[in-house]
Structure 1
Amino acid sequence: MPQLNPAPWFAILVFSWLIFLTVVPPKVLAHTFPNEPTLQSTKKPETDPWTWPWH
């Protein structure tokens, strides 16, 4: 039964993962976002009290 011989299948697995791990990550990391996030200030916004009467 050729399925039980691990030699060709293991080599195919190793080489395919080697190619996958050397080709794909640079392509994925080359992507950039169109809008870079801007830093928000750490100052809390001022809130005005609610002046509506509740009665």
Structure 2
Amino acid sequence: MPQLNPAPWFAILVFSWLVFLTILPPKIMAHSYPNEPTPQSTEKPKTEPWTWPWH
């Protein structure tokens, strides 16, 4: 049963994780979004009460 021999599969696992952790993050972090978020003000806008004609 070759699946139980950990020698080649462990090396493939370690190598693939090294590729994922060294090559892919800089490529992902270099991506720029077209709409950068703008910081919102923490002040609440002043609201005016509505005058409803209930009568």
Q: Percent identity?
A: 80
Note the aligned Cα RMSD (angstroms): 1.3
What TM-score, normalized to structure 1? 0.80
User: Which residue of structure 1 aligns with residue 22 of structure 2?
Assistant: 22
Q: Secondary structure at the match of 1:34?
A: coil
Q: Which runs of 5+ in 2 are unaligned?
A: none
Q: Which runs of 5+ in 1 are unaligned?
A: none
C-alpha offsets along residues 10-43 of structure 1, whole Å, 9 cap, x if unaligned?
1111111111111111111111111211122222
What TM-score, normalized to structure 2? 0.80
User: Which residue of structure 1 aligns with residue 50 of structure 2?
Assistant: 50
> Alignment length, in residue pairs?
55
